Amino acid sequence: MNHFHERDDELWCEGVNLRALAGACGTPLYVYSHATLERHFAAFDTAFAGIPHLTCYAVKANSNIAVLGLLAGWGAGMDVVSGGELFRAVRAGTDPKKIVYAGVGKTEREIAEALRAGILMFNVESLEELEQIDRTAGSLGLRAPVALRVNPAIDPLTHKYIATGLKESKFGIEAGRILETYRAALKLGHLDVVGIHCHIGSQITQVGPFREAVEKIADLVRQVRGLGADLRYVDIGGGLGISYNQEEPPEPKHFSAEILPVLKSLEATIITEPGRVIVGNAGALITRVIYRKDTSAKSFLVVDAGMNDLIRPSLYGSFHRIVPLTRTAGAHRAMDVVGPICESGDFLAKDRELPAVPPGACVAVLSAGAYGFAMSSNYNSRPRAAEVLVREGSYSVIRERESYEDLVRGEGDAVALVFRAPDAR
Ligand code: LLP
């Protein structure tokens, strides 16, 4: 359920006409619906209402500060994976005591920043990282709350690039080594061992893999408590999928119903890290047709958004529905929707049945709220798109379109290069 809908042959978002919005703000343009964000957060959060829980939104899915600010206001915590995400989460007003920090390559500087901020816990991905966190906490005179991230070796039945809990993944600590790593953690002097973490992948549309992971975790919780650790937090990660096309993922309440009995028995605060399920269908990318181009082999709709704006189709072969903002008469035929980037991999859709949308008209690429703008780049020196938040008939620009000056910021004057020797230490 989202708040993008058709009325009078045009596409609207919460009472805002998207053709008019594209005219006012330019394209490519990311548009997010406030009502959809609110609804999706509430649906997910209340699905766990029966037990002590904290919903830590995965900042990587959409890290716009306005989006984070709304979620923080609704009581969300945040799951961050870098110093930059921590900075955004705190800037947006998140209570640091609701922030969890995952990622296989936390640097000493990032660890220190998180310790100073006073986050809820680090989700630790190796023994080496655990030792680094202990050293950094010691040097700052602080204690570090930690959970160990278990790699449960479960196939989440999703695209291989976004499966994170397979045996060969870089993430987490192998289940077979987790107890010895907890033992090591309990011996380190500057750590508080408070939790356990697991995240098996993303865009998961079946409950089975989650149930399997939660059962493995529950088993480990008992064993780790047996070592004397006071595990208060069980973080089951994110990963619940959404419908891009024909998928039928479980609704949050059906998803939680399958795992709540096991989670309840653990007598811990359950942390979840949903990203896509909150923001994915709350956003669309609006792009304008530049040309229609026919070759003897194919028809192309050349639009002003490229793989730098939305990389999911190029990177994962992902499907995003594409609809004209104004209903277009005439027969549909198969065409590739492509961007202006100089790569054959630059496409938003392949062989898509669409009507003959004329140059100058716009289309909406739907379900683009998660991993859309967040993964965008300046490739081909293209300024990144603007982002707009719509709420009940009005809108607010929550990120300005980048300018050419933004593109060269920090590069200095091309003809006045200054060369310096690094400090020899
Ligand atoms: N927690 C951790 C530790 C994660 O690594 C992720 C996603 C999440 C939570 C949130 O997962 P979600 O609920 O959004 O599925 N760029 C890819 C998705 C990569 C996901 C990476 N980790 C895509 O566009 O499909």
Mean residue pLDDT of the chain comes to 96
Phi first, then psi, for residue 379 (nearest 5°) are -50, 140
* Average pLDDT, integer, range 3-28: 97
120 Cβ below 6 A of ligand 1: no
pLDDT category at 262 given cuts 50, 70, 90 is: very high
Q: Which amino acid is at 358?
A: P
The CA distance from 278 to 59, in Å, is 11
Q: Is the peptide bond before 249 cis (omega within 30 degrees of 0)?
A: no
Among 143, 129, 223, 131, residue whose Cα is nearest residue 178: 223
CA 59 to chain CA centroid, nearest Å: 6
Count of CA atoms in the C-beta half-sphere (13 A) of 318:
30
Pairing status of strand 16-17 against strand 29-33: unpaired
What pLDDT was estimated at residue 417? 80
Residue nearest to atom 7 of ligand 1 (CA): 202
The CA distance from 414 to 405, in Å, is 14
287 Cβ below 6 A of ligand 1: no
| Sequential DSSP letters for 315-365 | HH-----EEESB---S--EEEEEE-SSSSTT-EEEEEEEE--PPTT-EEEE
Active-site residue set: 342
165 Cβ below 6 A of ligand 1: no
Long-range pairs, 293-298, Cβ under 8 A, ≥24: 298/335, 298/336
pTM above 0.95, yes or no: yes
What pLDDT was estimated at residue 14? 97
Angle at the Cα of 84 from the Cα atoms of 79 and 88, rounded to 5 degrees: 70
Q: How far is the CA of 275 from the centre of ligand 1 (A)?
A: 6
Model confidence pLDDT, tens digit, residues 125-134: 999 999 999 9
- Cβ neighbors of 210 (< 8 A, separation 6 or more) are 200, 204, 236, 239, 240, 255, 258, 259
* Average pLDDT, integer, range 80-96: 98
What pLDDT was estimated at residue 423? 84
Strand order of the β-sheet with 10-13 is: 4-7, 10-13, 16-17
Model confidence pLDDT, tens digit, residues 297-316: 999 999 999 999 999 999 99
Residue nearest to atom 23 of ligand 1 (CA): 371
Contact 170, 122 (CB under 8 A): no
What pLDDT was estimated at residue 157? 78
Q: How far is the CA of 202 from the centre of ligand 1 (A)?
A: 5
* Average pLDDT, integer, range 208-212: 95
What pLDDT was estimated at residue 1? 73
What pLDDT was estimated at residue 2? 82
Per DSSP, the three-state class of 17 is: strand
**Is pLDDT at 141 greater than 90 in this prediction?**
yes
278 Cβ below 6 A of ligand 1: no
- The packing angle between helices 34-46 and 252-264, to 10°, is 30
Say which residue, 118 or 423, is predicted with more confidence: 118
The CA distance from 13 to 204, in Å, is 27
Ligand 1 nearest-atom number relative to CA 239: 15
What pLDDT was estimated at residue 234? 98
